Structure 1
Amino acid sequence: MQLVELDLSRNDIPEIPESISFCRALQVADFSGNPLTRLPESFPELQNLTCLSVNDISLQALPENIGNLYNLASLELRENLLTYLPESLAQLQRLEELDLGNNELYHLPETIGALFNLKDLWLDGNQLAEIPQEVGNLKNLLCLDVSENKLECLPEEISGLTSLTDLLVSQNLLQVLPDGIGKLRRLSILKVDQNKLIQLTDSIGDCESLTELVLTENQLQSLPKSIGKLKKLNNLNADRNKLTSLPKEVGGCCSLNVFSVRDNRLSRIPSEISQATELHVLDVAGNRLTYLPISLTTLRLKALWLSDNQSQPLLTFQTDTDPETGEKILTCVLLPQMPSESGCQENLPRCGALESLVNEMSDETWNERAVNRVSAIRFLEDEKDEEENEMRTLLRRATPHPGELKNMKKTVENLRNDMNAAKGLDSNKNEVNNAIDRVTTSV
């Protein structure tokens, strides 16, 4: 009866007895990882309980009177089978940490807004289609994780989360972010990757404390000019979108250390990027760049990625002149980039590997003829009959036919001509020819 802490986690206990209610001094209890399906009805009588962990126990429902645990500060319910939350949950006025991740919640009660002292709220991995506007009442909330749900929008009232530092909304169905997000002046980490964003609100520039912004795998065609106001931004990732241009204001992100816009549709990088003097890693692979601004030479870059199979983080560049504008530019063997659509033969010069040539061959040439071709090697012994010999047969598959190799060689020779004719590569002509000669010889 004087027990203060009880840890029964990761056992095979199928049921907690009702008599646990006699442990009136109990403050910390962990029942995680047991084959439990319910908590005893007498459980809410443990009114000194401050920390309760019941993760991964196949819990289907909470006791309706769980609000009686009025001293509870931490409640962990991750990886269960909860489909709803009892209304009495709102009575846990001292609750600071609530973990409901990886359950089966379809609805979040409006009373969630009554948990005024809540600092961390995890709702990831559920089935939520919306967040009640009352969540904006959680003035002390520091971290909100609603990733891996089915959210199509966030309430405008999210602007009330004035203490929020981490907002994670990855893997949802969001097309826009509410303008009120600009009022989250303490927000440091914002992850909106794997959504359906078609635009990024201008108010993002008002998130003055933002250090990490992840926009990977959306439908963005542009970034707002206001992004240049994010003076503390350290990491900006907008890979796999539909960006056709970057605002010159991005150079205003004076603390930017890592900037990644891989697999977009960019045709140029603004020269103002050089104003981001702390930039060390720039990833622009998988775009349509014809050249790079010469201003990049003023940066102390440690890595500049132009291609998926680039062997070194930095390349040797040559200066050239843009015939259209007359300005000095930077170019190298990997520029100009080609469109990133798969199956395009023009992509092959950027790969430079025999494996890529094989992958680009037509289905009829390779998949059917080569993969399905079988030759047999048999080992015969005088004492064995022919039926037994059949069991000792080795099959050899998928060796390219000499005719296929000739086609591959012809493709490589065509690439030689294309690359020699490519603009800005004259100074590298001998190096490129030697590289292709090695590939041709191996074929």
Structure 2
Amino acid sequence: MKKNYLIAFLFLLAGINAFAQNEFDKYGPSGSQVFVDLKEALRIEKKVYKIDLSYQKIDPKLYEKLSKITDLQVLRLSTNELTEYPKNFDALFNLVYFASYNNKLTQFPSNLKPFSNLHYLELQHTAIDSIPAQIAYLSKLQSLKFGNTDDTLRLPVTFRFLKNLKDVSIENCIMDSFPKQIFKLPGLNYLNLSNTNTYYLTKHFERLQNLEVLVVENNHLAEIPFEIYKAYKLRVISFRGNKLYRLPDSISHLENLTLLDLRGNNFTVEEIEKLKVLLPGCEIKS
């Protein structure tokens, strides 16, 4: 049994890594070289568009010079023992992709205004406890992935001004209040709020006319609003690991729904059978 769990975990980890790699590959000029040696990138300096410094300890003197590579569009850091951004980080105004994994950064960059070209931002396993109001300057941001912190996360009221956001994933951190700002993003296509201490969902699903994937796993949901059917483009819903025992009959109006994951809740066999009747074209995992 332990062997099976280990195999499943390895497959999951491989899937996560593959997804992250696909996102990294998607950004920057097509066919551009990926530099993995910061010293070499600094020597060339011009027309260096992609840098991946994953799993290496970076020379502090070289790290402070990173901002000289002003053509840089794609930067990934991972497990570098970093707690701060490099000096003059805001000089990298051409960044369209920035990701940091397993570095104990304590805050977002202090000046976000220069990063108006940023499309993708991911910060995982940091020591960050709040998203600053300045995030509104990231007017082109389409994907935001944040999670695995040791503190309570606060969202600013300005979050709702990120009108180009299509993909939001916040996982494995305690949110200090219900993230109502997220539910004011009309272009949202994918929303993941997993293990975030969420107790309820907004009833204003009419604001989410483009939402196709909704994942709210390992939280405290005891009921789902009747108005969920108003997010009529929903294709995939996962409410795994909550406290649900029923769903509103209005869910039958979600004609595009193909997958509904309800594992780890309190549904009776009868309730699951009822849902199968209401959603004849949908796979229901219970």
Does the C-alpha gap of structure 1 residues 251 and 176 become closer, same or farther in structure 2, counting only changes over 3 Å? closer
Pairwise CA distance, 1:160: 1.1
Q: Find the counterpart in structure 2 of residue 11 from structure 1.
A: 56
Pairwise CA distance, 1:152: 0.7
Q: Find the counterpart in structure 2 of residue 255 from structure 1.
A: 281
Does the C-alpha gap of structure 1 residues 248 and 127 become closer, same or farther in structure 2, counting only changes over 3 Å? closer
Residue of 52, 61, 69 corresponding to 1:23: 69
**C-alpha distance in 2, partners of 1:70/1:249?**
45
Q: Find the counterpart in structure 2 of residue 207 from structure 1.
A: 254
Pairwise CA distance, 1:249: 7.4
Q: Find the counterpart in structure 2 of residue 152 from structure 1.
A: 199
Does the C-alpha gap of structure 1 residues 34 and 208 become closer, same or farther in structure 2, counting only changes over 3 Å? same
Does the C-alpha gap of structure 1 residues 184 and 143 become closer, same or farther in structure 2, counting only changes over 3 Å? same
| SS of aligned partner of 2:183 | helix
**C-alpha distance in 2, partners of 1:203/1:129?**
30
Aligned-residue Cα RMSD (Å) equals: 2.2
> More displaced, 9-18 or 183-192?
9-18
Does the C-alpha gap of structure 1 residues 94 and 212 become closer, same or farther in structure 2, counting only changes over 3 Å? same
**C-alpha distance in 2, partners of 1:137/1:153?**
16
Q: Find the counterpart in structure 2 of residue 349 from structure 1.
A: none
| SS of aligned partner of 2:54 | coil
Residue of 144, 149, 174 corresponding to 1:127: 174
Q: How many residues align?
A: 239
After superposition, the C-alpha distances for 1:357-376 in whole angstroms (9 at most, x for unaligned) are: xxxxxxxxxxxxxxxxxxxx
**C-alpha distance in 1, partners of 2:273/2:156?**
41
After superposition, the C-alpha distances for 1:339-378 in whole angstroms (9 at most, x for unaligned) are: xxxxxxxxxxxxxxxxxxxxxxxxxxxxxxxxxxxxxxxx
Pairwise CA distance, 1:31: 1.6
Structure 2: runs of 5+ lacking an equivalent: 1-44
Q: Find the counterpart in structure 1 of residue 148 from structure 2.
A: 102
Asked if the contact 1:163/1:184 (under 8 Å) is kept, the reply is yes
**C-alpha distance in 2, partners of 1:14/1:177?**
51
Q: Find the counterpart in structure 2 of residue 113 from structure 1.
A: 160
Q: Find the counterpart in structure 2 of residue 85 from structure 1.
A: 131
| Bigger relative contact order (CA 8 A; separation at least 6) | 2
Does the C-alpha gap of structure 1 residues 181 and 245 become closer, same or farther in structure 2, counting only changes over 3 Å? closer
Residue of 14, 39, 44 corresponding to 2:85: 39
Pairwise CA distance, 1:247: 5.7
Does the C-alpha gap of structure 1 residues 12 and 158 become closer, same or farther in structure 2, counting only changes over 3 Å? farther
The 5 Å alignment of 1:343-354 reads none
After superposition, the C-alpha distances for 1:186-237 in whole angstroms (9 at most, x for unaligned) are: 1111111111124312321222211111112223xxxxxxxxxxxxxxxxxx
**C-alpha distance in 2, partners of 1:62/1:75?**
11
Letter in 2 for 1:139: P
| SS of aligned partner of 2:113 | helix
Pairwise CA distance, 1:84: 1.0
**How many percent identity over aligned positions?**
30
> More displaced, 199-208 or 9-18?
9-18
Between Structure 1 and Structure 2, the one with more strand by share is 2
Pairwise CA distance, 1:243: 4.3
Could you state the TM-score of these two structures normalised by the residue count of structure 1?
A: 0.50
Structure 1: runs of 5+ lacking an equivalent: 220-240, 262-443
> More displaced, 10-19 or 241-250?
241-250
Q: Find the counterpart in structure 2 of residue 186 from structure 1.
A: 233
Asked if the contact 2:263/2:285 (under 8 Å) is kept, the reply is no
Does the C-alpha gap of structure 1 residues 98 and 249 become closer, same or farther in structure 2, counting only changes over 3 Å? closer
After superposition, the C-alpha distances for 1:16-36 in whole angstroms (9 at most, x for unaligned) are: 644322222111111222110
**C-alpha distance in 1, partners of 2:104/2:212?**
32
Asked if the contact 1:153/1:175 (under 8 Å) is kept, the reply is yes
Asked if the contact 2:67/2:87 (under 8 Å) is kept, the reply is no
**C-alpha distance in 1, partners of 2:72/2:275?**
57
Q: Find the counterpart in structure 1 of residue 120 from structure 2.
A: 74
Does the C-alpha gap of structure 1 residues 29 and 65 become closer, same or farther in structure 2, counting only changes over 3 Å? same
**C-alpha distance in 2, partners of 1:21/1:116?**
29
Larger of the two Rg values belongs to structure: 1
